Chain A
């Protein structure tokens, strides 16, 4: 099973190939950027699983809803009538998962959305969305420099979460 280190390493390799390629750099830049994003997804999802695997009563229902990506539903019939419980799969945004982890386990008592790290993360997210949801009227400008920047952003986000949740730095 691949982990975030593998994805980061593949992303880096793709960027290097793009650097060496003279004609069609895009064929390497697109996977490079997606892999940088996947590295964060892999890392965050696995942390969410670490908590999602714990006995249910260690978290509030809405927290578990985020952890195991299931919808909170109101039961209006049967034995559990009038109670809330978790229902079908409901995918949560990566951004929300990060916000939750930092708020729950980090000692960061200040907003950080305005900081460069978060702005770079949003930039990576937007580019990833443009790649994954292409439209005629959306312009996609990818460069080797951007790919390296996203790779760095991916590492920085992973480090940010690791230091706030596990209180230790990751070795890449």
Chain B
């Protein structure tokens, strides 16, 4: 069979040989019809690929749905988002496949470095690929594949990203892929170490639907801790309560957040040895677990809603808490108060008083304001930081309505004062 390079593709003996091996191992429609195979080269990342038709029966034996960004690392996790096999779109896809629908543009990588029997690693179209595999007994049609060769990690990440862009893949999945490629396992290891993730657990693909933490949440925790730490070094104890603090939510998606990148380029995997950060992470997990259990265990006093159970994981709550943990590192007595879990009472069954937070409204808020710790606006972040800062004044604090009002009132007062003097 003739193998040609497309006119924009730079000739490469290595790629030609790899394609040739691939075509000997896999029977494609082009081979069967003796049509020349063309090798293309991506203009952006220079990766090489061919386009070919492979029958469902042959594909089913060589497709791997557990593709990994770091092919050589045995500890690396599956990189694609979780399959949604109950989703109506998928069910329709499978029904169509069973009736003989041909799919196109399945994005795969020829890679024998792991799980070598299944050397076609799927990067785009994993639901279509799954549907094809599932109905193999009833339909064996040719499907269009784009097969990449000899990808490095950077190229692989980009292939994964561009392959998923059209599918409404969550930013959380992009974050997960980019995190691993750019910084390795440090973030996941840290989260496993403090308990934000289980021992062999990976970050969630779609944060909104999951009760697990996402890369964005983990990054935000770290960035805010260090931001708070830096700020705290410059403030005398007596002045802690005279400032407005502005926690930060890391950006998510196809670009790595600049503040997080800054932290990682400065500290890298040294964060794994930062005992204070790890202590903060463990204390935060204690708060989260207590909140979770208290909500779950008191159905007669508080609705067992996900938003209430996971109140600590709401981004503004987490960022506010983490920022204050960093801020108080140089103010030990208040730090210890901060680490105390807020007290509960017969009327307030959960430490974060999620219901009261949700009902909260200041006079300056719009009638549509949805309450404390429900959004990631600057206002909400400042307010949550103040809640935790005010809480750190005592070791036996209850986050009741009065306390929340006073904390928010302080932020509004300080903000107005700042504007008034400006």
Query: Is B417 an interface position by the 8 A CB rule?
Result: yes
Stretch of A45-53, A129-137, A143-151 at the chain-chain interface? A45-53
Query: Smallest CB–CB gap between A95 and chain B, Å?
Result: 19
Query: Smallest CB–CB gap between A97 and chain B, Å?
Result: 14
A105 to B413, CA, bound (A): 11
- A27 — which chain B residues lie within 8 A by C-beta? none
The interface bits of chain A over 45-80 (1 if a CB of B lies within 8 angstroms of the residue's CB, else 0) are 011011101110010000000000000000000000
- A125 — which chain B residues lie within 8 A by C-beta? none
- B241 — which chain A residues lie within 8 A by C-beta? 55
- B419 — which chain A residues lie within 8 A by C-beta? 105, 167
Q: A53, B416: Cβ atoms under 8 Å? A: no
- B363 — which chain A residues lie within 8 A by C-beta? 3-4, 43, 46-47
Our pick among B361, B409, B412 for the contact of A3 (Cβ within 8 Å) is B361
The interface bits of chain B over 188-202 (1 if a CB of A lies within 8 angstroms of the residue's CB, else 0) are 000000000000000
Chain A 2-55 residues near chain B, CB threshold 8 A: 3-5, 43, 46-47, 49-51, 53-55
Query: Is B24 an interface position by the 8 A CB rule?
Result: no
The interface bits of chain A over 146-172 (1 if a CB of B lies within 8 angstroms of the residue's CB, else 0) are 000000000000000010011110111
- Which among B364, B366, B410, B414 has the highest number of chain A CB atoms within 10 Å? B364
Query: Is A138 an interface position by the 8 A CB rule?
Result: no
Query: Is B61 an interface position by the 8 A CB rule?
Result: no
Query: Smallest CB–CB gap between A148 and chain B, Å?
Result: 21
Query: Is A1 an interface position by the 8 A CB rule?
Result: yes
- B303 — which chain A residues lie within 8 A by C-beta? none
Nearest B-chain residue to A67, judged by Cβ: B413
The number of A-B residue pairs with CB atoms under 8 Å apart is 47
Q: A58, B409: Cβ atoms under 8 Å? A: no
Nearest A-chain residue to B412, judged by Cβ: A50
A77 to B406, CA, bound (A): 34
- A47 — which chain B residues lie within 8 A by C-beta? 363
Q: B367, A50: Cβ atoms under 8 Å? A: no
Q: B416, A51: Cβ atoms under 8 Å? A: yes
Our pick among A3, A4, A53, A172 for the contact of B413 (Cβ within 8 Å) is A53
Q: B401, A105: Cβ atoms under 8 Å? A: no
- A85 — which chain B residues lie within 8 A by C-beta? none
Q: A105, B420: Cβ atoms under 8 Å? A: yes
Q: A50, B401: Cβ atoms under 8 Å? A: no
Q: A51, B413: Cβ atoms under 8 Å? A: yes
Q: B364, A53: Cβ atoms under 8 Å? A: no
Our pick among B361, B366, B367, B413 for the contact of A54 (Cβ within 8 Å) is B413
Query: Is A104 an interface position by the 8 A CB rule?
Result: yes
The interface bits of chain A over 66-108 (1 if a CB of B lies within 8 angstroms of the residue's CB, else 0) are 0000000000000000000000000000000000000011000
Nearest B-chain residue to A104, judged by Cβ: B420
Q: A5, B409: Cβ atoms under 8 Å? A: no
Nearest A-chain residue to B366, judged by Cβ: A171
Q: B401, A166: Cβ atoms under 8 Å? A: no
Q: B401, A54: Cβ atoms under 8 Å? A: no
Q: A54, B414: Cβ atoms under 8 Å? A: yes
Our pick among B409, B414, B416 for the contact of A105 (Cβ within 8 Å) is B416
Query: Is B242 an interface position by the 8 A CB rule?
Result: yes
Q: B410, A53: Cβ atoms under 8 Å? A: yes
A1-B401, A171-B366, A171-B367 given; A49·B416 CB < 8 A: no
Chain B 386-410 residues near chain A, CB threshold 8 A: 401, 406, 409-410
Those 7 A-B pairs whose CB atoms lie nearest each other, nearest first = A105-B420, A50-B413, A50-B409, A50-B412, A51-B413, A54-B413, A53-B409
6 A-B residue pairs with Cβ-Cβ distance under 8 Å, sorted by A, are A5-B367, A47-B363, A53-B413, A54-B410, A58-B242, A105-B417
Q: Which residues in A have some Cβ–Cβ distance to B below 8 Å?
A: 1, 3-5, 43, 46-47, 49-51, 53-55, 58, 104-105, 162, 165-168, 170-172
Q: Which residues in B have some Cβ–Cβ distance to A below 8 Å?
A: 241-242, 361, 363-364, 366-367, 401, 406, 409-410, 412-414, 416-417, 419-420
Known: A58-B242, A105-B419, A172-B367. 20 other contacts (CB 8 A): A4-B363, A5-B367, A43-B363, A46-B363, A49-B409, A50-B413, A51-B416, A51-B417, A53-B409, A54-B242, A54-B410, A54-B414, A54-B417, A55-B241, A105-B416, A105-B420, A162-B364, A165-B420, A168-B364, A171-B366
